C-alpha cells in the first residue's frame, strides 16, 4: 500500500510517497504555503501543487498520514481520522498555534480530495505519553492540573525514528539502549530515552519551552514576561507573537538560518557570533540536563536540520559537553546516518537524519490494515462499490 505522508508546518507543506517495506520515498516535495488574495494560506492550492509534485498518482495512494504536533491528553497513539478526531485536534489549536490549525486545514482538504482512503493522524506528543510524573508535572498548585497545565513534549515522531536507527547503528536492541536525542532545527528539543521510553524532554505544555530555536525564545524567566505585561509594554497578543515568531536566532542574529549565521560568523559578524554561541550554550545545557535523567548513556543523537547538517554546531556542542564525558567530534560534513565519534568511545555520538515520514507511513499501514479487516468497514466498502 502506497502511503502519502503530509507534514503541514507553519511555513511549508511537505509530502512524500512511501512504499511498504522501504524507507526511501518514491517521491517527495516541499511547497511553501501559497497565499490567497485575502492574505490567508491557500491550503487547497498548495495541496494540489504537492500532489502534482509527487506525481499526481492519487489512484495508487492507499492511505494518508498526517503529522499533528499537539495531541494533548486526548491522543496517546496514532488514530484513524473521523469528525470527532478533527474536532478534538481543533480544540488543541491554542497549545500549538503555529502547527495544529494548519494541520487541521490540511486534513480537511486532504480528506475531501481523497475521501476513499484511510487518513491517520500521528502526534508528536504521543511518544512522550508515558513520561514519569516528575517529568510531566510542573511544580505549581494542583488547580493548574485541572486547567490542563502540564508538560507534554514534542518531536516524538523524530525521536521514535532516531531511537530505532541508533539501536541499529550501535547493533543493540532498543531495550538495551539509553540515549539522549537532540532534535535541532527550526524547532529544538532534547529527550532522554531509557530503553525505548521517553523519561524527560525539554519542551513542555507548548513547543515554546526549552532551548533556543530559530524564531522561538525557548525558556525565559516567567517574571520577565509578567513584568512586560504588568508594565503595559506588550499586550498578550504581542508577547505571544514575539516569543513564537520574533525571538531565538532571528532576534539575536537577524536571521533564523543557521547556515547564514555561520557564514557571517566566519566573516567576523559580532551578532551572528553571539547568536551561534547562545544556541550552542543552550543546546548543550539541555543535553546535559537530559543526561542526568539516565543511569548511563550509550549515545548522543543529533538530528533535525541543524543537527544533521551543521557539522560545526555538532562539534561545538560535543566540545562543550566534554566535562560530561561526551567525546569531541570533527566538524566534518556527513550526509548519511553514522556514528561520528571515533572508535568504541562511549557515549557514542550519532548523526541521524530525521524521518518522521517513515514513522507515520508505518502507523498508517498498521491502522489501515486493521481497519480493512473490520467487518463493518468491509460492509461499507461493499455497499459503496455497488
The pLDDT of residue 376: 54
Rounded Cα distance, 16 and 88, in Å: 26
CATH 3.30.420.40 is held by the domain 156-354? yes
Give the CATH superfamily of 2-123.
ATPase, nucleotide binding domain (3.30.420.40)
Report whether 138 contacts 144 (CB < 8 A).
yes
Rounded Cα distance, 291 and 318, in Å: 13
The pLDDT of residue 373: 61
Q: Residues 12-24: pLDDT tens digits?
A: 899 999 988 888 8
Mean pLDDT of 113-133: 95
Residue 76 DSSP one-character state: S
Q: Residues 314-357: pLDDT tens digits?
A: 999 999 999 999 999 999 999 999 999 988 889 999 999 999 99
Could you state, in order of their start, the residue ranges of all structural domains in the chain?
2-123, 156-354
Q: Residues 288-317: pLDDT tens digits?
A: 999 999 999 999 999 999 999 999 999 999
Contacting residues for 85 by C-beta, under 8 A, at least 6 apart: 79, 121
Of 33-37, 56-60, 89-93, 138-142, minimum mean pLDDT range: 56-60
* Residue given cell 543535553 in the structure block: 287
Q: Residues 363-381: pLDDT tens digits?
A: 999 998 876 665 555 454 4
Neighbours of 327 (CB within 10 A): 18
Long-range CB contact pairs, 317-325, < 8 A, 24+: 317/182, 317/280, 317/283, 317/284, 317/287, 318/349, 320/280, 320/281, 320/284, 321/284, 321/287, 321/288, 324/288, 324/291, 325/297
Catalytic residue among 90, 116, 124, 231: 124
Model pTM score: 0.92
The reply to whether 2-123 and 156-354 are identical in fold is: yes
Rounded Cα distance, 299 and 294, in Å: 11
Please indicate whether residue 142 is annotated as part of the active site.
Answer: no
Report whether 4 contacts 14 (CB < 8 A).
no
Mean pLDDT, the chain, whole residue set: 92
Amino acid at each position: 500500500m502506497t502511503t502519502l505522508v503530509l507534514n503541514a508546518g507553519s511555513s511549508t507543506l511537505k509530502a512524500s510517497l512511501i512504499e511498504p517495506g522501504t524507507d526511501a520515498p518514491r517521491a517527495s516535495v516541499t511547497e511553501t504555503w501559497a497565499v490567497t488574495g485575502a492574505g490567508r494560506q491557500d491550503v487547497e492550492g498548495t495541496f494540489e501543487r504537492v500532489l502534482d509534485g509527487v506525481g499526481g498518482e492519487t489512484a495508487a495512494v492507499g492511505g494518508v498520514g498526517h503529522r499533528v504536533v499537539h495531541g494533548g491528553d486526548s491522543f496517546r497513539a496514532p488514530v484513524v481520522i473521523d469528525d470527532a478526531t478533527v474536532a478534538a485536534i481543533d480544540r488543541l489549536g491554542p497549545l500549538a498555534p503555529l502547527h495544529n490549525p494548519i494541520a487541521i486545514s490540511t486534513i480537511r482538504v486532504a480528506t475531501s480530495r481523497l475521501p476513499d482512503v484511510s487518513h491517520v493522524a500521528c502526534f508528536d506528543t504521543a511518544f512522550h505519553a508515558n513520561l514519569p510524573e516528575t517529568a510531566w508535572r510542573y511544580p505549581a498548585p494542583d488547580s493548574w492540573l485541572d486547567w490542563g497545565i502540564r508538560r507534554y513534549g514534542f518531536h516524538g515522531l523524530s525521536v521514535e525514528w532516531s531511537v530505532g536507527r541508533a539501536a541499529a547503528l550501535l547493533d543493540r536492541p532498543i531495550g538495551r539502549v539509553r540515549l539522549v536525542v537532540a532534535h535541532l532545527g527550526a524547532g529544538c528539543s532534547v529527550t532522554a530515552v531509557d530503553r525505548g521510553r521517553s523519561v524527560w524532554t525539554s519542551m513542555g505544555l507548548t513547543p515554546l519551552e526549552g532551548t533556543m530555536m530559530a524564531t522561538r525564545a525557548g525558556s525565559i524567566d516567567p517574571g520577565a514576561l509578567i513584568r512586560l505585561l504588568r508594565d503595559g509594554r506588550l499586550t498578550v497578543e504581542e508577547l505571544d507573537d514575539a516569543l513564537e515568531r520574533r525571538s531565538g536566532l532571528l532576534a539575536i542574529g537577524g536571521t533564523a538560518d543557521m547556515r547564514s549565521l555561520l557564514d557571517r560568523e566566519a566573516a567576523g559578524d559580532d551578532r551572528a557570533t553571539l547568536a551561534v554561541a547562545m544556541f550552542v550554550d543552550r543546546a548543550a545545557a539541555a543535553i546535559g540536563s537530559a543526561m542526568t535523567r539516565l543511569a548511563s548513556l550509550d549515545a548522543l543523537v543529533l538530528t533535525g536540520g541543524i543537527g544533521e547538517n551543521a557539522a560545526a554546531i555538532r562539534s561545538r556542542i560535543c566540545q562543550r559537553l566534554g566535562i560530561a564525558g561526551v567525546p569531541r567530534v570533527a566538524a566534518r560534513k556527513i550526509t548519511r546516518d553514522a556514528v561520528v565519534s571515533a572508535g568504541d568511545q562511549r557515549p557514542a555520538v550519532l548523526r541521524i537524519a530525521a524521518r518522521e515520514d517513515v514513522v507515520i507511513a508505518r502507523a498508517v499501514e498498521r491502522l489501515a490494515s486493521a481497519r480493512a479487516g473490520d467487518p463493518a468497514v468491509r460492509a461499507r466498502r461493499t455497499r459503496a462499490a455497488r
